[in-house]
């Protein structure tokens, strides 16, 4: 008989792998923390005196403005969709999510083009109504403009979470409110809204993370924030210590947002777990009421998606013959393969992390997996700085010991570092669908396999993975789309003269080739829409 | 020689206040069927998972056919233990056919895998459904597939978690017999967990009672029922009446009357007399008997339960035949055919 040995039960190779992954993924944060205590860079004094105040005010104003606007847009659309019946409701349900596929920086160029002197809006005003805008411009290239752009592209986060919270609220609660002679409006303010608060604030927190991550919009509009400050220190001044200081402050703001979000949520669990709950019944309005709701949805969708999309299509029509050539297809191929590789790597790592947790669901394993997906809260520019510094150090070390002349960069500016950065930043995106996939299959199936003599690896490949195939696919798809539109991180870490669709769009738009930039932008938007439609279909199929 | 032995097993879950299993030791003999019985939270399922290797004890040892498989915080991983487990929800692999499910555990063995799997399916009477997927089978059939899958690799011990809880009452009696028959035919040692005493009494060779993580008693069904080690065990197997009595030289004074019994001479302080409802017999005459005021009569088809009270309102239950009539009666006379005596502390 095979000899069997006793060993510590919490130890298996998966725990080991998970530990290694977590150590690697937390490198950027650790770098920042250790470097905060270094001496300030040469430009820090100047920056502190002249710019830091601006950075603070602009970043906070941006956060507050976007929070307020996404709240209004997201909650109102969510309430309309979840509690009224009106023509087109079934379509608006997912159409309203589409702006998520429209990166903010592309929206920014598009609206600037739409509103400038030669753009369609001013042309129509001039030619049809004889109105000439004073000074020739409708200026959105400022702080309120940035708030507008970010709000219309980020409100779907609030919409999605608020909607699902409204839908989970039970019919009986609303009926109870109605029996106590509350109007629909009063019920909304007294019951639905307070109950949905944790979800709504969660949505606003997600939108805030994106605001803090944004570089494209604020750079284009000339609004100085911490992200633009990091770029300025790193690229223009070559002052890495100052960049680290700024990155650290930005990270503190992120943690403050997360802390506030956590604080308001507390231990509260408003969602009722009862299976008896029926979803709220949609009320029937008069014909006029119904069509006005449709009109509201059409307006929001037009401003946040359709109008900019039409402008992009028009630009593409004007310029495609100049832009679409062999080089453009190479660009697409490179971008897609980079995104696909990142997606696959992230999904593999997520599976390892979650499998370690599945085999040993103890608190500390849970803790390290949570640590591994923290990157999603950290702005891309901060991740990039946190990776760049140790990589540069490692390169110096390698050069000193391996190359004859003591110079050479092996890692800096290589694609593997870019992929690594994507892994740090987007781990959570691939992790979540796999987590829910594992939850759905339950642990007993895994245990049954192991009791039948299959080791942990065989169980993973023969039992667990075949059952979560669609989650794996979803994970890759979501990462793919996020990587494709990622800008600040790619700008800092990409190899010299290497372009992705996102950096190319940014490059063209900032170099007076806005119309031409619409070509790569359109590819990003179209691929961004795919998972929204696809996931919506999947959710629908589950509901049926 | 016991095939399985647990020595002083302790287990506390993280964040839990109390121990799930405390200082449990017992042996299981080769070929016997042991039932682990207790209320929810008694630690019975934890004990099963500890034996399977899905949980790990904080201290104590587990031996399986002569090998130490767990000692303190070191342990043999589940897939090396050769233990079979039938889950409460069956945990069949939904993406594999019945035959593939049953073959899954046979890859370490020599010989024809398909043939062995077929044999296991034949044993549970499902050899004709081998190409079906689990969702195409009824609940009862799924359970038998799970049983075949667990038995097929010829485990050293078979564990079953609440095997009868998902079945309706009619099916239950039939399945109990079937499963016992299959296990005995396969000559496997088995442990099953249940909260239903009737499952335990009818299916097991021996029964272990757990309460709040402690092992209360482990014995044959008959001995447990007739000689319970403590009041908890006694009450666990159905209703038990208790009355306080004062011993004299000839017998006991009770609120329901005097009982003549020579055992009373051994006691000097008040004692507790206990008896099961079926051990009291209702009589017609008013001879030297006990009597109580009629409180209620409940009809159960094959029997009736009569509740009587004494002057202070203490109630006792008596089981009687379905045809006895109590209309218009205030007082009921009865005698005790059998009762136990406990000292009151």
SS3 assignment for chain B? CEEEEEEEEEECCCCCCCCCEEEEEEEEECCCEEEEECCCCCCHHHHHHHHHCCCCCCEEEEEECCEEEEECCEECCHHHCCEEEECCCCCCCCCCCHHHHHHHHHCCCCCCHHHHHHHHHHHCCCHHHCCCCHHHCCHHHHHHHHHHHHHCCCCCEEEEECCCCCCCHHHHHHHHHHHHHHHHHCCCCEEEEECCHHHHHHHCCEEEEEECCEEEEEECHHHHHHCCCCHHHHHHCCCCEEEEEEECCCEEEECCEEEECHHHHHCCCCEEEEECHHHEEEECCCCCCEEEEEEEEEECCCCEEEEEECCCCCEEEEEECCCCCCCCCCEEEEEECCCEEEECC
State pLDDT tens for residues B60-81: 999 999 888 988 888 888 888 8
Strand, helix or coil for residue A504: helix
Q: Which phi and psi (to 5°) does residue A169 adopt?
A: -65, 140
Q: Which phi and psi (to 5°) does residue B338 adopt?
A: -155, 140
Q: How confident is the model at residue A419 (pLDDT cuts 50, 70, 90)?
A: very high
Nearest to B54 among A363, A447, A463 (CB): A447
Where are the domains positioned within chain A? 9-35+324-494
| B331 contact partners, CB below 8 Å, separation of at least 6 | B291, B292, B293, B294
Residue A270, pLDDT score: 53
What ipTM was estimated for this complex? 0.82
Residue A351, pLDDT score: 96
- Pairing verdict, β B21-29 and A84-85: unpaired
Average pLDDT over residues B153-170: 87
Q: Does B108 touch chain A (CB under 8 A)?
A: yes
For residue B75, give the chain A residue with the closest CA: A6
d(CA A136, CA A119) in angstroms, rounded, equals 11
d(CA B231, CA B70) in angstroms, rounded, equals 33
Q: How confident is the model at residue A503 (pLDDT cuts 50, 70, 90)?
A: very high
Q: Return the minimum-mean-pLDDT range out of A190-194, B276-280, B294-298, B302-306.
A: A190-194
| A404 contact partners, CB below 8 Å, separation of at least 6 | none
Average pLDDT over residues B158-173: 85
The more confidently predicted of residues A426 and B109 is A426
Q: How confident is the model at residue A274 (pLDDT cuts 50, 70, 90)?
A: very low
Q: How confident is the model at residue A404 (pLDDT cuts 50, 70, 90)?
A: low
Q: Which phi and psi (to 5°) does residue A223 adopt?
A: -95, 120
d(CA B202, CA A299) in angstroms, rounded, equals 71
**Residues of chain A contacting B73 with CB distance shorter than 8 Å:** 8-9
Contact (CB<8Å) B93/A449: yes
For residue B89, give the chain A residue with the closest CA: A444
pLDDT surpasses 90 at A517 = yes
Q: At what angle do helices A469-485 and A415-441 cross, to 10 degrees?
A: 150
pLDDT surpasses 50 at A187 = yes
Nearest to A449 among B75, B77, B104 (CB): B104
Q: How confident is the model at residue A242 (pLDDT cuts 50, 70, 90)?
A: confident
pLDDT surpasses 90 at A418 = yes
Residue A2, pLDDT score: 44
A192: tokens are: 């639905």
Portion of chain B with pLDDT greater than 90, in percent: 37
Nearest to B74 among A7, A455, A466 (CB): A7
CB–CB of B212/B250 below 8 Å? no
Q: Does B73 touch chain A (CB under 8 A)?
A: yes
d(CA B61, CA B7) in angstroms, rounded, equals 5
- Cα–Cα separations (whole angstroms), residue B260 to B250, B315, B318: 6, 21, 20
Q: How confident is the model at residue A302 (pLDDT cuts 50, 70, 90)?
A: very high
Contact (CB<8Å) B14/A8: no
- Pairing verdict, β B206-211 and B33-37: parallel
- Cα–Cα separations (whole angstroms), residue B279 to B43, B92, B262, B319: 32, 46, 19, 8
d(CA B250, CA B228) in angstroms, rounded, equals 27
pLDDT surpasses 90 at A108 = yes
- Pairing verdict, β B67-71 and B241-247: unpaired
Q: How confident is the model at residue A544 (pLDDT cuts 50, 70, 90)?
A: very low
Q: Which phi and psi (to 5°) does residue B109 adopt?
A: -90, 160
Provide CATH 2.40.50.140 ranges for chain B: 241-343
d(CA A32, CA A244) in angstroms, rounded, equals 6
Q: Does B105 touch chain A (CB under 8 A)?
A: yes
d(CA B201, CA B221) in angstroms, rounded, equals 5
- Cα–Cα separations (whole angstroms), residue B298 to B278, B304, B307, B330: 14, 6, 8, 16
CB–CB of A340/A476 below 8 Å? yes
Contact (CB<8Å) B82/A363: no
Give the H/E segment covering residue A8: strand A7-8
Nearest to B14 among A4, A363, A467 (CB): A363
Architecture of domain B2-236: 3-Layer(aba) Sandwich (3.40)
d(CA B279, CA A150) in angstroms, rounded, equals 81
A47: tokens are: 């920056």
Q: Does B147 touch chain A (CB under 8 A)?
A: no
In terms of Cα–Cα distance, which of B186, B113, B198 is closest to B154? B186
Three-state SS annotation for A254-315: HHHHHHHHHHHHCCCCCCCCCCCCCECCCEECCHHHHHHHHHHHHHHHHHHHHHHHHHHHHH
Give the H/E segment covering residue A7: strand A7-8
Contact (CB<8Å) A451/B84: yes
Contact (CB<8Å) B153/A463: no
Nearest to A4 among B52, B80, B105 (CB): B80
Neighbours of A329 (CB within 10 A): 10
Residue A7, pLDDT score: 67
Q: What is the mean pLDDT of chain A?
A: 86
d(CA B44, CA B62) in angstroms, rounded, equals 16
The CATH code belonging to domain B241-343 is 2.40.50.140
Name residue, tokens 């050539």.
Answer: A325
Q: Does B13 touch chain A (CB under 8 A)?
A: no
pLDDT surpasses 60 at A4 = no
DSSP track, A21-64: HHHHHTHHHHHHHHHHTSPP-TTHHHHHHHTHHHHHHHHHHHHH
pLDDT surpasses 50 at A442 = yes
Provide CATH 3.40.50.300 ranges for chain B: 2-236
Q: Tell me A136's DSSP state.
A: G
User: What b/e string do you get for B68-98 counting C-beta neighbours within 10 Å, with b at 16 or more?
Assistant: bbbbeebbbbbbbbbbbbbbbebbbbeebbb
d(CA A385, CA B13) in angstroms, rounded, equals 42
Residue A539, pLDDT score: 63
Residue B175, pLDDT score: 84
Contact (CB<8Å) A4/B56: no
Q: Does B153 touch chain A (CB under 8 A)?
A: yes
Portion of chain A with pLDDT greater than 70, in percent: 91
Nearest to B85 among A4, A451, A456 (CB): A451
Q: Which of A115-119, A515-519, B240-244 has the highest mean pLDDT?
A: A515-519
pLDDT surpasses 50 at B287 = yes
pLDDT surpasses 50 at A301 = yes
Q: Does B331 touch chain A (CB under 8 A)?
A: no
CB–CB of A354/A369 below 8 Å? yes
Residue A406, pLDDT score: 57
Q: At what angle do helices A193-213 and A52-83 cross, to 10 degrees?
A: 140
Contact (CB<8Å) B79/A362: no
pLDDT surpasses 80 at A271 = no
Average pLDDT over residues A462-468: 94
| B273 contact partners, CB below 8 Å, separation of at least 6 | B242, B243, B244, B245, B252, B254, B259, B336, B339, B340, B341, B342
- Cα–Cα separations (whole angstroms), residue A484 to A295, A334, A477, A481: 33, 10, 11, 5
- Residue spans of alpha helices (H) in A325-379: 326-359, 363-372
pLDDT surpasses 90 at A389 = no
Q: Tell me A4's DSSP state.
A: -
pLDDT surpasses 90 at A480 = yes
For residue A7, give the chain B residue with the closest CA: B74
Residue A273, pLDDT score: 47
Q: How confident is the model at residue A269 (pLDDT cuts 50, 70, 90)?
A: low
User: What b/e string do you get for A229-256 counting C-beta neighbours within 10 Å, with b at 16 or more?
Assistant: bbbbbbeebebbbbbbbbbbbbbebbee
Residue A409, pLDDT score: 66
CB–CB of B79/A450 below 8 Å? yes
CB–CB of A75/A194 below 8 Å? no
State pLDDT tens for residues A370-387: 899 988 888 999 899 899
Residue A407, pLDDT score: 60
pLDDT surpasses 50 at A329 = yes
Which CATH superfamily hosts domain A9-35+324-494? MetI-like (1.10.3720.10)
For residue A444, give the chain B residue with the closest CA: B91
Q: What residues of chain A have any CB closer than 8 angstroms to a CB in chain B?
A: 2, 4-9, 12, 362-363, 442, 444-445, 447-456, 459, 462-463, 466-467
Residue A3, pLDDT score: 46
Contact (CB<8Å) A9/B52: no
């Amino acid at each position: 008989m095979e000899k069997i040995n006793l060993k510590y039960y919490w130890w298996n190779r998966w725990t080991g792998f998970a530990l290694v992954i977590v150590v690697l993924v937390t490198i950027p944060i650790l770098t920042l923390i250790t470097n905060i205590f270094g001496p300030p860079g040469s430009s820090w004094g100047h920056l502190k005196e002249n710019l830091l105040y601006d950075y603070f005010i602009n970043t906070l104003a941006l956060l507050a403005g976007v929070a307020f606007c996404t709240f209004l847009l997201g909650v109102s659309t969510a309430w309309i969709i979840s509690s009224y019946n009106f023509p087109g409701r079934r379509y608006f349900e997912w159409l309203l999510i589409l702006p998520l596929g429209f990166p903010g920086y592309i929206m920014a160029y598009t609206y600037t083009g739409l509103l400038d002197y030669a753009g369609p809006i001013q042309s129509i005003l001039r030619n049809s109504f004889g109105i000439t805008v004073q000074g020739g411009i409708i200026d959105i290239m400022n702080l309120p403009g940035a708030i507008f752009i970010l709000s219309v592209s980020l409100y779907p986060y609030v919409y999605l979470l608020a909607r699902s919270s409204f839908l989970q609220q039970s019919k009986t609660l609303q009926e109870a409110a109605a029996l106590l002679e509350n109007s629909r409006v009063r019920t909304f303010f007294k019951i639905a809204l307070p109950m949905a608060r944790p979800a709504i604030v969660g949505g606003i927190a997600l939108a805030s993370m994106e605001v803090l991550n944004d570089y494209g919009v604020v750079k284009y509009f000339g609004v100085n924030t911490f992200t633009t400050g990091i770029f300025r220190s790193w690229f223009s001044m070559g002052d890495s210590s100052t960049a680290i200081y700024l990155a650290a402050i930005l990270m503190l703001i992120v943690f403050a947002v997360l802390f506030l979000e956590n604080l308001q949520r507390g231990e509260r669990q408003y969602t009722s777990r009862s299976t008896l709950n029926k979803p709220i019944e949609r009320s029937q309005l008069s014909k006029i009421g119904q069509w006005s709701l449709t009109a509201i949805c059409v307006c929001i969708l037009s401003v946040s998606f359709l109008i900019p999309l039409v402008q992009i299509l028009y630009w593409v029509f004007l310029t495609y013959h100049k832009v679409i050539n062999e080089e453009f297809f190479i660009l697409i191929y490179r971008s897609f393969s980079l995104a696909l590789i990142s997606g696959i790597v992230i999904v593999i790592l997520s599976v390892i992390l979650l499998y370690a947790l599945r085999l040993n669901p103890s608190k500390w394993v849970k803790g390290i997996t949570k640590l591994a997906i923290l990157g999603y809260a950290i702005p891309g520019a901060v991740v990039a700085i946190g990776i760049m510094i140790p990589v540069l150090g490692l390169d110096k070390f390698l050069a000193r010991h391996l190359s004859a002349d003591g110079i050479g960069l092996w890692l800096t500016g290589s694609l593997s570092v870019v992929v690594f950065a994507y892994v740090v930043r987007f781990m959570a995106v691939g992790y979540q669908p796999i987590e829910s996939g594992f939850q759905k299959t339950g642990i007993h199936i895994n245990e049954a396999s192991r009791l039948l003599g299959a080791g942990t690896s065989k169980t993973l490949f023969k039992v667990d993975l075949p059952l979560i195939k669609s989650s794996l696919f979803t994970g890759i798809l979501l990462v793919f789309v996020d990587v494709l539109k990622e800008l600040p991180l790619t700008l800092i870490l990409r190899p010299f003269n290497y372009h992705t669709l996102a950096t190319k769009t940014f490059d063209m738009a900032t170099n007076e080739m806005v119309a031409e930039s619409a070509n790569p932008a359109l590819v990003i938007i179209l691929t961004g829409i795919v998972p929204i439609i696809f996931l919506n279909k999947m959710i629908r199929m589950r509901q049926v | 020689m016991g095939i399985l032995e647990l020595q002083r097993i302790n287990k506390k879950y993280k964040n839990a206040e109390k121990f799930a299993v405390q200082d449990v030791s017992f042996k299981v003999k080769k070929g016997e069927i042991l039932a682990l019985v207790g209320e929810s939270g008694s630690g019975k399922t934890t004990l099963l998972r500890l034996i399977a290797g899905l949980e790990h004890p904080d201290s104590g040892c587990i031996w399986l056919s002569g090998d130490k498989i767990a000692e303190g915080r070191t342990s043999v991983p589940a897939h090396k233990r050769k233990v079979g487990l039938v889950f409460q929800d069956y945990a069949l692999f939904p993406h594999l056919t019945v035959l593939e499910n049953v073959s899954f555990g046979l890859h370490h063995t020599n010989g024809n895998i398909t043939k062995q799997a077929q044999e296991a399916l034949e044993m549970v009477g499902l050899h004709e459904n081998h190409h079906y997927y689990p969702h195409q089978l009824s609940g009862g059939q799924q359970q038998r597939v799970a049983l075949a899958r667990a038995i097929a690799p010829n485990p050293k011990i078979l564990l079953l978690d609440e095997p009868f809880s998902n079945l309706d009452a009619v099916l239950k009696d039939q399945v109990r017999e079937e499963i016992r028959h299959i296990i005995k035919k396969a000559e496997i040692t088995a442990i099953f967990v249940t909260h239903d005493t009737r499952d335990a009494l009818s299916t097991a060779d021996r029964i272990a009672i757990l309460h709040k993580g402690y092992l209360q008693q482990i014995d044959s069904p008959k001995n447990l029922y007739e000689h319970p080690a403590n009041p908890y065990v006694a009450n666990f197997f159905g209703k038990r009446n208790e009355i306080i009595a004062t011993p004299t030289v000839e017998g006991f004074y009770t609120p329901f009357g005097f009982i003549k019994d020579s055992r009373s001479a051994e006691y000097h302080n008040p004692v507790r007399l206990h008896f099961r409802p079926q051990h009291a017999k209702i009589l017609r005459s008013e001879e030297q008997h006990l009597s109580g005021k009629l409180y209620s009569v409940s009809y159960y088809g094959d029997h009736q339960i009569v509740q009587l009270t004494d002057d202070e309102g203490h109630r006792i239950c008596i089981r009687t035949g379905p045809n006895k009539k109590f209309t218009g009666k205030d007082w009921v006379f009865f005698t005790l055919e059998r009762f136990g005596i406990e000292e009151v502390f």
